[in-house]
Chains A and B, each alone.
Chain A
């Protein structure tokens, strides 16, 4: 390490504590959401199958939102870039609806 410091002429700027605190806060939030998913998976009654599935999918999108907007910094890019990444995902929504419907039809035909 001593050698590396000698050849380095660039002086590092001091860290902004509030930035680093924010990163750890979002990390904590992601971990708490995962723990909540675990608690729900084993504490909610089995008959609430669809209720549980909607909770898990909802919480997954909460986690995805924080990873994309903060960790990947998309929230701080220009609006056009945000929309050109987000809008094509409409095709995935269509694909989910179409193929899950198709899956039910195959089950009915078996």
Chain B
């Protein structure tokens, strides 16, 4: 890789022993192992979802006849079927699909920024980093809407013991068992926190690229390291999309 070759020429950038183990820089290897540990955390959350889902009865009838109840686990596509500006119209998973699309595209622009960094092309690094930041902010805005909708609930609500409840929080849930709402907030919230920190890191490296920090340093490796984190956030969303929304 171009940047590794540039870094290896300068002895100060090598690890203390004078060589780079695994032929990668210290920072990149540490980012990989941090991501591995983070992958365990997300696995823990998603497997907890699996455990709790299978310890609740499933809805037995046809999907079209589904109504929310505390007695069985909800069918996700019947819960996440709202789209902004189309009130009352059921379009299952369309909005989540859009969010997936946005995050994958912002991952692509990140790869393009890394590629430009290998060529020491500051203008293109800045251009693609800016698109990546826009993608991240768009995703966060979509998630804000999704949370707001989930918290405020549907028009009809759910009648429990003669009382109608609307929406969900950590104490009540109109969509199904309480744990379903808790897991929604924990899993998408933990992922959203990662996206937010990713956007902040992206803004920092965008600023550093634009003031020429990386040109002075002689390589754009920082873009690669932040890029690894950003792709990981996209990767986690691919799993959240399948295991929380699709199945």
Contact = CB atoms under 8 A, between A and B. Distances in A.
Interface of A: 1, 4-5, 7-15, 19-20, 23-24, 27, 30-31, 34, 37-38, 41-42, 46, 52-53, 56-57, 59-60, 63-64, 67-68, 71-73, 76-78, 80-81, 85, 88-89, 91-92, 95-96, 99-100, 102-104, 106-107, 110
**Interface size classification for chain B:** 35 or more
A50 to B, nearest CB: 10
Contacts of A103: 50-55
B202 interface: no
B246 A15 contact: no
A41 to B, nearest CB: 6
Majority-rule SS of A interface residues: helix
B36 interface: yes
B107 A104 contact: no
Contacts of A67: 107, 231, 234-235, 238
Contact of B51 (A7, A34, A85, A99): A99
Majority-rule SS of B interface residues: helix
Contacts, number: 151
A71 B234 CA distance: 10
A81 B48 contact: no
B63 interface: yes
Contacts of B158: none
Contacts of A24: 108
B55 to A, nearest CB: 4
B62 A46 contact: yes
A36 B247 CA distance: 14
B36 A88 contact: yes
A70 to B, nearest CB: 8
